[in-house]
Amino acid sequence: MLDDGIKPSSIVRYLDQYVIGQDDAKKILSVAVYAHYRKIAKARAEQTELAKSNVLLIGPSGTGKTLLCETLSRVLKVPFVTADATSLAQTRYVSDEIEAILQRLLDKGGGDVERAQRGIVFIDEIDKLKARPGEPRAVSGESVQHALLKIMEGAPVKVGNAQFVDTTNILFICGGAFVGIEDIMAQTHGYGFIATSDDDDNQKILDRLNSRVKPTDLFEFGLIPEFTGRLPVIARFQELSRDMLVRIMTEPRNCIYNQFREIFRNEGVELTVERRVFQQISDLAIEYKTGARSLRGLFEELITPILYAVPDDPGVKKVEIDSLFTEPRYVRA
């Protein structure tokens, strides 16, 4: 199931080609999936039960949670689907919705039940399922948590008319922004008083311990204890810095810059965009507070007028953009 030679470190190296930063999350997730698929193989060989470690990803919107899971499923060559917890919470027929998710997983696996049963299901916006005091249980996020924890644990789910998908070996990854979790974490005691020296390494270890989200924090946030208990592995995603946003636009193989250079190349034109432009776009994106999500829109806004003009002028061989605030330079042969 895991290709020979696949190790947590090789998974991380693959992820690095597509996902910028988030090094901690990459490591945690790679180790988790590696262990997961090793356990499946071992459990199958020895006919033993599998103790599953589903994963919780916590981090702001647009920082790469979905992208990381998608990329992960590609390197593992397993079927992958995403679902949205909010839509689960809005339906009266949660079990139908869950069935539909597994149906999609089955479709992704080419109708092969065996393959689907080794897939990954990513459930986003899990933080929207928090229990609100006074809400009738049947319609609350809490009842969805109960429904989910049953399938996360492992259960046969009827899909279509005659087929069953067993969720025992399916890896569930839940994601959410968990706005306000920092405040909850700050209220509970941190490890601080042990630090007597101003030793740098010491401080790093303490920072690490203190930045860990504890099950009790999630409980306080509004997830039920049984649910948090099914998510023993927690990885946090960091807010993207300006430098990371620049790298997102310019480094990955399929990054925005490369995509548009290719479009211009097909017109016989060489496009060069100065680093400063990407920094200016990143500054705007940071103001929009949507992580990397607004980068494409901003870049397209800049490029569209040029793409409009270039085909009318076959003499243009080169377009150079130095700044968001100056006109692009058209170079003719």
Ligand X SMILES: Nc1ncnc2c1ncn2[C@@H]1O[C@H](COP(=O)(O)OP(=O)(O)OP(=O)(O)O)[C@@H](O)[C@H]1O
210 binds Mg ion (CB under 5 A): no
Residue with tokens 């042969």: 333
292 binds, among Mg ion, ligand X, none (CB under 5 to 8 A by kind): ligand X
Pick 53 or 66: Cβ nearer ligand X? 66
Closer of 64 and 79 to ligand X (Cβ): 64
Q: Among 58-66, 277-285, 315-323, 325-333, which window interacts with ligand X (CB under 6 A)? A: 58-66
Contacting range for ligand X; rule: CB under 6 A; set: 18-26, 44-52, 186-194, 264-272 = 18-26
Q: Return the biggest CA–CA distance within the chain.
A: 72
Instruction: State CA 152 to chain mean position distance.
Output: 18
Binds 79: which of ligand X, Mg ion, none (CB < 5-8 Å by kind): none
Choices 55-63, 298-306, 307-315, 324-332 (CB under 6 A): range interacting with ligand X: 55-63
7 contacts ligand X (rule: CB under 6 A):
no
Does 66 bind ligand X (CB under 6 A)? Our answer is yes
The binder of ligand X chosen from 213, 292, 298, 303 (CB under 6 A): 292
Question: From start to end of the chain, where are the E strands?
Answer: 55-58, 80-84, 120-124, 156-159, 163-166, 171-176, 233-236, 270-273, 316-321, 329-332
Q: Is 284 exposed, middle or buried (0-12, 13-18, 19+ CB in 10 A)?
A: middle
* Beta carbon of residue 290, minimum distance to ligand X (angstroms, whole number): 8
Cβ proximity of 231 and 32 under 8 Å = no
Q: Which is nearer to ligand X, 47 or 254 (CB)?
A: 254
Q: Which of 21, 79, 119, 141 binds ligand X (CB under 6 A)?
A: 21
Taking Cα atoms as reference points, which of 83, 64, 66 lies closest to residue 121?
Answer: 83
20 binds, among ligand X, Mg ion, none (CB under 5 to 8 A by kind): ligand X
64 binds ligand X (CB under 6 A): yes
The Cα–Cα gap between 320 and 281 comes to 16
Q: Name which position in 124, 127, 142, 217 contacts ligand X (CB under 6 A).
A: 124
- Nearer to ligand X among residue 82 and residue 143 (C-beta): 82
Do 76 and 82 meet the contact criterion of CB atoms below 8 Å apart?
Answer: no
**CA neighbours closer than 13 Å in the CB half-sphere of residue 38:** 12
Q: Out of 53, 66, 87, 250, point to the residue binding Mg ion (CB under 5 A).
A: 66
Q: Considering only residues 160 through 189, tell me which ones interact with ligand X, judged by CB under 6 A.
A: 177
- Residue 145's nearest CA partner among 127, 121, 167 is 127
Task: Give 270: exposed, middle or buried? Use CB within 10 Å, 0-12, 13-18, 19+.
Answer: middle
Question: Between 119 and 291, whose beta carbon lies closer to ligand X?
Answer: 291
**Contact (CB, 8 A) for 105 and 160:** no
**What DSSP designation does 326 have?**
S
Residue 150 in tokens: 């049953």
Fill in the amino acid letter for 240.
L
The correct pick among 2, 20, 223, 298 for binding ligand X (CB under 6 A) is: 20
- Residue 109 touches which of ligand X, Mg ion, none (CB < 5 to 8 A by kind)? none
* Footprint on this chain of Mg ion (rule: CB under 5 A): 65-66, 124
* Footprint on this chain of ligand X (rule: CB under 6 A): 19-22, 61-67, 124, 177, 248, 252, 291-293
